[in-house]
Structure 1
Amino acid sequence: MKVRRSLMKHNLVLAAVVCVALMASACGPDVPPETTVSQKTEQFNELMKRPDIDRAAAGYEELYAKVREQVTAEVPALKWEVANPESSAACGNDFAAVNADLRKNDAEVKGLANWVAKGNLPDFQWKHVASTVGQVAGTYGFGGGEVVVDQPGNHEIVFRDQYNAELNFGTAVNTTLLLRTGCHLTAEAKKRGTPAAPPTY
């Protein structure tokens, strides 16, 4: 009987020690959970490293003009005309959080006016002229050149820069030059320097 009481007493003491330990751990100093920057802020901060959309578009327009000039110098028969006006849209999935819940976009992509020259660029000239376009684009940070189409009388190549802008040069029935920017903050958002607060309804 004494052994049993002693064992019960021992168990109660052990239980008390465990409870005290648990209480101590529960009542210890609060350690704040690890905090992370919101996706919206992360994406906005990434875009702050880039020029605003107006400055970016101005640089691309300069590139655009030099490409047309160089192509015309090599193939004088090509006469460039604007086919479609400039357009703009919200950024794609990579920066979708920046514009989430906003009435007016903080970030956007632009499609510069499309240029078309009537007539096809002959196959024997294509590689040389495409290479020239690539060289001019390279001075503006565009690399490589992805061949999209390479068939007799039908060619298309795309160059991209660090912001994922795309310069598209092709020839088929007509010869075309297209440029779409990557995602950039608007001048207003860039000047503000922080994400816009969602509207209150």
Structure 2
Amino acid sequence: MSKDEQYAELLKRPDIEQIHDEYTKMLEEIRNELVAQIGIAPWVPKDEPFSGSGCAEFSDLSEAHKRRYSSGHSPGNLPDARWADAVKLVESIAGRHGFKLHGAVVDRPSDHEVTFGNDYGAELLFGTAANTTLSVSTGCHLTKAAKERGKPA
């Protein structure tokens, strides 16, 4: 794919700041609802809640970025008896943001992890073992300035 084709593809997507706002709100809602409805312990945030990088699949575009967001952890294991309900809750909220359940990464007693994805190549991971965790990696998105400019630099 040429640089112009890559740029045109990314113009169809929200910019990275729009995705930042949407995904941080989605993660906050999931965390809050897991505490309120499932009864897990309140989340302990990470010192650095997100990191970023360029995009290998759009390597010709220096203004294409990915971000990874960690929700920290909820101390302790989510009991097996509550796992299915927790997954349904996460699936419901993530589904409103275009994420679909892709399936289990790990599924054994007291150790579970599922993955969700969307059309932009984002991946949301939700799991429990020693602690309960939630994270999302975005797909590739242009910076706000690059999207507003409407053409490659």
Percent identity between the two aligned chains: 39
Q: Structure 1 residue runs of 4+, over 2 Å off?
A: 74-77
Q: Counting strand residues as a fraction of each chain, which structure ranks higher? A: 2
Does the aligned pair in 1 maintain the 2:70–2:134 contact within 8 Å?
no
Match of 1:133 in 2: 90
Instruction: Spell out, residue by residue over 1:104-161, the C-alpha distance to the aligned partner (whole angstroms, 9 max, x if none).
Output: xx11001123320100000111111111101111111111232100011100001111
Match of 1:92 in 2: 56
The one-letter amino acid paired with 1:47 is L
Tell me, yes or no, if structure 1 residue 193 matches structure 2 residue 150: yes
TM normalised by structure 1 equals 0.72
The one-letter amino acid paired with 2:30 is V
* Equivalences for residues 143-182 of structure 1 within 5 A: 143-182=100-139
Equivalent residues, number: 152
Between Structure 1 and Structure 2, whose CA radius of gyration is higher? 1
| SS class of match (1:167) | strand
TM normalised by structure 2 equals 0.94
* Equivalences for residues 23-34 of structure 1 within 5 A: none
The one-letter amino acid paired with 1:91 is C
Match of 2:42 in 1: 79
| SS class of match (1:177) | strand
Query: How well do the aligned residues superpose, as a CA RMSD in angstroms?
Result: 1.3
The one-letter amino acid paired with 1:66 is E
- How many angstroms apart in 1 are the aligned matches of 2:5 and 2:40? 49
- How many angstroms apart in 1 are the aligned matches of 2:100 and 2:135? 16
| SS class of match (2:46) | strand
- How many angstroms apart in 2 are the aligned matches of 1:166 and 1:87? 15
* Equivalences for residues 6-155 of structure 1 within 5 A: 39-85=2-48, 86-93=50-57, 95-99=58-62, 106-155=63-112
What 5-or-longer segments of structure 2 have no aligned partner?
Answer: none
